[in-house]
Amino acid sequence: MNRILYSLIFTSLLTTNVISKDFSGLNFNLNIGAADQGTSFTDLTRYSSSATTCRGDGFCDEWDNTIVGISYGIGYDFFLTNNLPLDKPLYLGIDFGGLITMDDVSRRTNEVTGGLEDYVIETNFRGHNILSGGLSISTIPFKNKDSKAFIDFGAAFANINHPHLDNDSGSWDFEDSPYIQDLVEGYYIGGGIEYLHGKNWGYRANIRYYDFAHMELNWTPKNSATKAQYKYEDTLTQVEIGLVYYLRKK
């Protein structure tokens, strides 16, 4: 008898129509986390860009670096419908934000000639380095009606610097060494969960993946008659936690 009673109570808890918290409206978020920054580099003058693997001679390479950053954002979520197969609320959001990195240099020595370093390559995300904007889709799939899950995607722009410190003359040449310093375009995709504590404040955890456009640099190294051509692709995988605040009318 007790088992039947407990079973009925448990079933009623699962099927009780608890009112979900409202996740619509204007919201702000501030987060801190770590990101794995990766760079793929190809020397097009010595290595075919159509090949799928590196020869191991240093002219085609990849490296990464773990960096810490703070992100911020503003968004507005619209309530769409409750008529889903699971009878859950569905929200569509518009989001804008940015990412500031604290430790932002990934260094790689690429070539050694005659026992000396020929040049050094860096990848540098600088200052307010990533701006993004896009859409988010969220719903409340949990038994806890205070929490929602979301996915987001959109466009991103990053201020990425790829300096080359030329050492062909035996000393580092900071004046004539070329670099790429552009606001390059890319995209992001991610997702996470959010818990609303009370009416205004909440907590969130999310992961995002950024992929930025291929960049090419053409230059002629010192003491060389051969024009060099390089291609890059930069990625960022970001995991973070933070706070969210919903602006409500009193």
Of the candidates 126, 231, 139, 240, which has an alpha carbon nearest to the alpha carbon of residue 188? 240
The topology under which CATH files domain 24-246 is Porin (2.40.160)
Residue whose structure tokens are 């959001």: 93
14 touches 145 (CB < 8 A): no
Residue 248 token pair: 């409500």
Which range (41-45, 202-206, 239-243) has the least confidence? 41-45
**SS3 state of residue 7:** helix
Residue whose structure tokens are 């090419």: 216
- Highest mean pLDDT of the ranges 39-53, 108-122, 177-191, 197-211: 197-211
**pLDDT, tens digit, 9 for 90 and up, residues 136-156:** 999 888 777 889 999 999 999
DSSP conformation class of 54: -
Q: How far is CA 102 from the centre of its chain?
A: 15
| Residues facing 79 on adjacent strands | 91
**Domain range annotation of the chain:** 24-246
pTM of the model: 0.79
Residue 49 token pair: 């860009």
pLDDT at position 50 is 53
Q: What is the mean pLDDT of residues 182-201?
A: 90
With cut-offs at 50, 70 and 90, classify the pLDDT of residue 173. low
